[in-house]
């Protein structure tokens, strides 16, 4: 896999070098100092336009061949990672809601049990009080 990637990068480097050499083949055109006026400022000279177009097409082909598939794979992997993370998050949230419901149920049971114990203790206390009062009066 890495050898294949190195081969692709080497080919991309060769293509980029050829595009750069083609662009550098006409350095005098880049430094031409012709004075243009009006709409002629916006229209490129054909001597400049053709090398730029060829370089652009070469760069476009190199990116289409080597750059965009890599970016597409990265985006696809990131998308699947995000989907998996969302799925795990939803599962964790559902588990947390189930756990919360269980804790609430246990809390209600504990409250009911404590209320029953308090009521039994009060009843026992009243019975003991009544018994002590009866014994004291007797």
Helix (H) or strand (E) holding 12: helix 2-24
Q: At what angle do helices 2-24 and 46-62 cross, to 10 degrees?
A: 180
**How far, in Å, are 82, 88, 116, 134, 135 from residue 125 at the CA level?**
63, 54, 14, 14, 15
Q: Would you call 87 helix, strand, or coil by DSSP?
A: helix
pLDDT digits (tens, 9 = 90+) for 87-136: 999 999 999 999 999 999 999 999 999 999 999 999 999 888 888 998 88
Q: What is the pLDDT of residues 7-63, one digit of tens each?
A: 776 676 766 666 666 566 655 555 555 677 778 777 878 888 889 999 999 999 999
Q: Which residues contact 19 (CB under 8 A, 6 or more apart)?
A: 54, 55, 58, 59, 62
Within a 10 A sphere around the Cβ of 31, how many other Cβ atoms? 6
């Amino acid at each position: 896999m890495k050898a294949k990637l190195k081969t692709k990068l080497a080919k991309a480097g060769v293509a980029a070098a050829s595009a750069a050499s083609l662009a550098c083949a006409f350095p005098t055109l880049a430094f031409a100092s012709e004075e243009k006026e009006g709409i002629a400022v916006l229209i490129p000279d054909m001597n400049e336009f053709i090398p730029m177009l060829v370089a652009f097409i070469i760069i476009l082909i190199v990116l289409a061949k080597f750059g965009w598939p890599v970016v597409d794979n990265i985006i696809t992997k990131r998308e699947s990672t995000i989907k998996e993370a969302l799925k795990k998050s939803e599962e964790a949230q559902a588990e947390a809601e189930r756990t919360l419901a269980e804790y609430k149920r246990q809390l209600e049971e504990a409250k009911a049990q404590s209320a029953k114990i308090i009521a039994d203790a009060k009843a026992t206390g009243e019975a003991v009080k009544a018994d002590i009062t009866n014994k004291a009066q007797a």
